Structure 1
Amino acid sequence: MTATTQGFAAIQQRDLVNQIADSLTEALLRGDFAPGVHLAEAQLARDFGVSRAPVREAARLLESRGMLVSQPRRGFFVRTFSAEELEDVFDLRLCLERHAIGLLAGQFSEYKESALTRQLDTMRQVAEHGTAAEQIEADVAFHRMLCEFSGNRRLLKVFDELCHEMRFCILLIGQLYDDPRRVADSHQPVLDALRTGDDAACEAAIDYHIGIAQQRVVEMFREREGI
């Protein structure tokens, strides 16, 4: 095999891994796998009609995205949180983004408005035609922009550290909506508030945006826990 054909083989393998990861993300978004469930590598390999290697790589990819966790000699499991832990994640996220949008409101430029508008357009496009994984990443990217554009690099660093938990929360939010376009559209009031330049309006918009998600996701988990 030449160096060129070896490269082609690597590309094909990587494409297969991504396809399996996307399919698993779609299944997680539909709620096919409950939190805490063990994903049997051998069974998934049979279901996909592939060897176990690409399934294992796809699972590692989803682990890096915060959707699965691995346990030594036991394999991969769907990530789970208690309702209380989810409350903590949402509370921290709200503190970060409330501060970020307050800082951003005072320095909102045409460039930042244009970038956020393009990202919202991207979210709507992937809601129509993209995979569940792409929808989650586009959502995270919008909120990361809010933190990045605030100018507080420490805040952005903490946000990035929270991203694993955030991706899982966004995955759960997606289970609450039949139409992913509605998730994308829910970001429009945040951008509209920024355009006003009013600190109170911006804080109210982000409080509502994250607060509604927090309330519904935590309520869903409390029902699962029988609380």
Structure 2
Amino acid sequence: MIRNKVKRHLLKLILQGDLQVGQTINLAKTARSLGVSVTPVREALSQLEQARILASIPNRGFIVPKLSLQEIRDLYSAMADLELMAMEQSVYTAKLIQKLKEEQVLLQQSHTNGVRIQRRMQFHQLLIKACSNQILKQLITDLQARILFYERMLLTDAEMFETTDNQNEGIIRALEEDNLPTAILIAKMNWMHLLEHMEKQLIRQTKVNF
């Protein structure tokens, strides 16, 4: 469907960092750039609003909403739980584990925070690639899109990147040993450690701005 094509396009812009917090999405401009009518664009934007990635503001249209402490807690807690469910429903073949290793190498070789964050998300997308529950995978994809706004603004600590790298390697080792429960535990710890870090960063930033 055209609506889904538009939605994928918008999610790609988010992944690439082309949409920023507070930015308004121009419906007509987006439609022209994709060569479609405004109807599927409006439908795609409405879907992203329902997923809490965008917000609808009267007389302004759709915007990327501001960050909040409550939302960051909800996002990371939900992501940890949903990824756990998806991993439980996955089968990790030698080929998939090899892809995880390759993605981890690319992540470690990234030279900018933006690329590292993008690679980090791609690593987690690979973790759930084998899950057959498409609805669950879509929920996770939508959450990741919103989380990206937080991480691009708040995840700048090299030590935190090192911690997540170590956890990723721990996940891979556990999967190689066919120890899925341990891999799931480390993955959940990954999200919870990030949540703690991001909460502190957002509180600090809020105090500075205030």
SS in 2 for 1:202: helix
Tell me if the contact between 1:173 and 1:213 (Cα under 8 Å) persists in the aligned partners: no
Per the alignment, residue 70 of structure 2 pairs with 84
Per the alignment, residue 15 of structure 1 pairs with none
| Bigger Cα Rg | 1
RMSD: 3.3
Tell me if the contact between 1:174 and 1:183 (Cα under 8 Å) persists in the aligned partners: no
101, 120, 124: which one pairs with 1:143? Answer: 124
Tell me if the contact between 2:16 and 2:118 (Cα under 8 Å) persists in the aligned partners: no
User: Matches of 1:150 and 1:113 in 2, distance apart?
Assistant: 14
SS in 2 for 1:191: helix
Per the alignment, residue 81 of structure 2 pairs with 95
Structure 1 pair 179–148 and aligned structure 2 pair: CA distance change class (3 A): closer
Report whether the alignment pairs 1:171 with 2:171.
Answer: no
Quote the offset at 1:199 in angstroms.
3.5
Per the alignment, residue 139 of structure 2 pairs with 158
Where does 1:44-83 land on structure 2 (aligned, <5 Å)? Answer: 61=13, 65=17, 67-71=20-24, 80-83=66-69
TM-score normalized by the length of structure 1 = 0.60
100, 104, 124: which one pairs with 1:120? Answer: 104
2:176 maps to a residue whose letter is R
SS in 2 for 1:81: coil
Per the alignment, residue 94 of structure 2 pairs with 110
Seq. identity, %: 14
Tell me if the contact between 1:98 and 1:207 (Cα under 8 Å) persists in the aligned partners: yes
Q: Which segments of 5 or more consecutive residues in structure 2 lack a partner in the other structure?
A: 1-12, 27-58
Tell me if the contact between 2:79 and 2:140 (Cα under 8 Å) persists in the aligned partners: yes
Q: Which segments of 5 or more consecutive residues in structure 1 lack a partner in the other structure?
A: 1-60
What is the number of equivalent residue pairs in this alignment? 162
SS in 1 for 2:22: strand
Report whether the alignment pairs 1:215 with 2:201.
Answer: no
TM-score normalized by the length of structure 2 = 0.64
User: Matches of 2:201 and 2:125 in 1, distance apart?
Assistant: 26
User: Matches of 1:85 and 1:122 in 2, distance apart?
Assistant: 30
Quote the offset at 1:181 in angstroms.
5.2
Structure 1 pair 198–112 and aligned structure 2 pair: CA distance change class (3 A): same
Instruction: Give runs of ≥4 in structure 1 deviating > 6 Å.
Output: none
164, 169, 183: which one pairs with 1:188? Answer: 169
User: Matches of 1:141 and 1:100 in 2, distance apart?
Assistant: 15
Structure 1 pair 173–208 and aligned structure 2 pair: CA distance change class (3 A): farther
1:122-179 deviation line (CA, Å, top 9, x unaligned): 11111xxx43332222111111111222232222111222232121233255323268
1:3-32 deviation line (CA, Å, top 9, x unaligned): xxxxxxxxxxxxxxxxxxxxxxxxxxxxxx
Quote the offset at 1:200 in angstroms.
2.5
